[in-house]
Amino acid sequence: MQEPQKFMVAFERVVHIGDIRRSDRKIIILPYDEDYNENREIDLPSMVFSMKESHFVADMLMIENYKSDTNCKLFDLITHKFVGSDNEIQLPIHLDRWNSCTEKFENQANLFPHDMTDLYGKTVKVACFTYKPYVLLDIDPAIEPLGRDGVEVRIVDEFCRWINCTVEVVREDKDQWGEIYENQTGGIGVIGSVVEDRADLGITALYSWFEEYRVMDFSAAGVRTAITCIAPAPRLLSSWEMPLMPFTWFMWLAVVFTYFCASIGLLIAHGCVTTSYPFLNVLGMMIGQSLYDDSASWTIRRVTGWLLIAGLILSSAYGAGLASTFTVPRYEPSIDTVQDIVDRKMEWGATHDAWIFSLTLSTEPLVKQLVSQFRIRSFDELKRKSFTRSMAYSIEKLPAGNFAIGEYVTQEAILDMMIMLEDFYYEQCVIMLRKSSPYTPKVSELVGRLHQSGLLLAWETQVALKHLNYKVQVEVRLSRSKNDVGTTKPLNLGNVMGVFIIYVVGVICACATFLAEIYVHRRKVKKELTHLESLD
């Protein structure tokens, strides 16, 4: 190869554009011709191995002509150090020499020595930010000697203990998960750090997103998480609604329809005589009042009899329902499913739109409506809204029974919230790496071993007990079994407020009607007297 530098640049671009992923790539660079490397002052291996593109390939072998006075050609086989400290990884290492006459190697060395089992303390950069219980940073060294902890932090630390590397944290507290630019040339946040090679690994609850998979490598899934919401908990219904609760709205419509039909029927039975007061009589019979009727007509008696029976049944059913309402507390409808949160147009949100990355490609109308109701708010605004019952908050249900909840949901706010029954979706948390990264097989192998040993579940429990707000966790876990009724107590004025409201409204209407009748009667009498005086 005459210009291996150009090849490395082109090869790196092909790796990013292509869909094929090969972590075990081996690149062998041959001399352009027999005399290509002779009498050259340029140190070609140092130039190639010092390129950024060479830092991501573990197995590189460059073959150079070795100056020889004999007819036999000697070839030097050179690789880069790759492991060790950052200022040494680009250094060329002479592995062996091959003789064209004997067709043998001088040292019988391993031509691809970097099997990723020992990195000799090489720095591995990890992009992350604090998100409990996955990643916790800035911990007191008295509690954690390294100043960090978390389920995925422990995976990375165990990975570096296994292959002898050094973890360097690349913090992305501002942009958090981040995103990839539309042209896929870079990005921000944890995702952008991996795409732009500012970090070798990306962690902090990164899901198996399709758009990210196109430009990066995913490890084996470490944590299976389900995404749902904690929504405002249903409250006890207001006392003024209690008189209406024994019947459903359809039942009330049926009662009203029956009332008008019966009134019209009784009016017809009386020969359309309005002085029989059919509407008042039917109302009295429907609420269980007796009716004095000396009519000799069997038609009227039959209608009256059936109305008395219907009134008895309705009043008995209503009384039983009202007693049940006073005995068993009634609550507002709870938000349990995706359909519920969509029907109520309840906003739900977090500090970043990574929560909806898994839903944005869906064509299902319900999911699209759910995505449209998602809101991105600042930490302080989310904390303020948690007390207003105007918003639901996305959380994660973890395999060991714990929850990943934003710090903006406080212990005081969680008392008035309830976890939903239905999950929005579930995802697999992975570690993201650059495409065709040499670390991918080792990370996936480690994750598999951690699953096999059960350490991931143990770590989750340990981190939750050590660093999460235990009271918040318990409140969320028991939010659907909380009892707001308390101890049994006698009825008070607040429990029967609705009945008294109806009574007061009835008294006011009756008084107003009575006064109106007196006023009309007096005007009528006054008008008659005036008419008589005018005749005289």
Give pLDDT tens digits for 467-521. Answer: 999 999 999 999 988 655 455 566 666 666 777 787 888 899 989 999 999 999 8
Q: In angstroms, what CA-CA distances link 455 with 207, 319, 349, 451? A: 20, 59, 32, 7
Give the pair of three-digit tokens for residue 438.
């040499």
Query: Alpha-carbon Rg of the chain, whole angstroms?
Result: 40
Q: What number is the average pLDDT over the span 355-384?
A: 94
pLDDT the model gives residue 457: 95
Residues 59 and 52: their CA atoms lie apart, in Å, by 15
Decide if 438 contacts 210 (C-beta within 8 A): no
Give helix 249-269 / helix 298-327 axis angle, nearest 10°.
160
Spatial CB neighbours of 215, under 8 Å, sequence gap ≥ 6: 16, 180, 184, 195, 435
255: tokens are 């009662």
Strands 216-218 vs 425-434: parallel, antiparallel or unpaired? antiparallel
Q: From start to end of 322-365, where are the E strands?
A: 347-350
Output the pLDDT for position 238. 66
Counting Cα atoms < 13 Å in the Cβ hemisphere of 413 gives 21
Which residues are within 8 A (CB) of 54 and not within 5 positions of it... i.e. 6 or more apart? 8, 48, 60, 80, 90
DSSP E strands: which ranges in 13-164?
Answer: 26-29, 59-66, 74-80, 92-99, 104-105, 122-128
Q: Is 216 helix (H, G, I), strand (E, B) or coil?
A: strand
CA distance 151 to 455: 10
Buried b (16+ CB within 10 A) or exposed e, 325-336: bbeeeeeeeebb
How many Å apart are CA 513 and CA 520, to the nearest integer? 10
Which region among 36-50, 192-206, 323-337 has the lowest average model confidence (pLDDT)?
36-50
Q: CA 210, 214, 220 angle in degrees (round to 5)?
A: 70
The predicted model scores a pTM of: 0.79
**How many other C-beta atoms can be found within 10 angstroms of the C-beta atom of residue 483?**
7
Q: How large is the angle between the packed helices 470-477 and 455-467, nearest 10 degrees? A: 110
Calculate mean pLDDT across residues 134-140.
95
Note the Cα 456 to chain centre separation in Å: 21
Longest dimension (CA), the chain: 159
Copy the structure tokens of residue 50. 């010092």
8 A C-beta contact, residue 349 and residue 376: yes
Rounded (5°) CA angle 403-406-412: 90
Q: How high does pLDDT run on average in the chain?
A: 87
CB-CB contact of 210 with 434 (8 Å): no
Instruction: Look at residue 305 and tell me whether its pLDDT is greater than 50.
Output: yes
The pair of three-digit structure tokens given for residue 273, joined into one six-digit string: 């005589």
> Which two structure tokens, joined as six digits, stand for 134?
């996955």
* Contact of 358 with 207, CB cutoff 8 Å: yes
In which residue are the tokens 């992975």 written?
A: 430
Q: What angle do CA 121, 124, 126 make, to 5 degrees?
A: 145
- Determine the residue type at 436: S
For residue range 404-463, what is the model confidence (pLDDT) as tens digits? 999 999 999 999 999 999 999 999 999 999 999 999 999 999 999 999 999 999 999 999
Span 524-535, pLDDT tens digits: 888 888 877 777
pLDDT at 460: 96
User: For tokens 């990723």, what's the residue?
Assistant: 116
SS3 (DSSP) at 461: helix
Lowest mean pLDDT: which of 44-58, 143-157, 470-484?
470-484
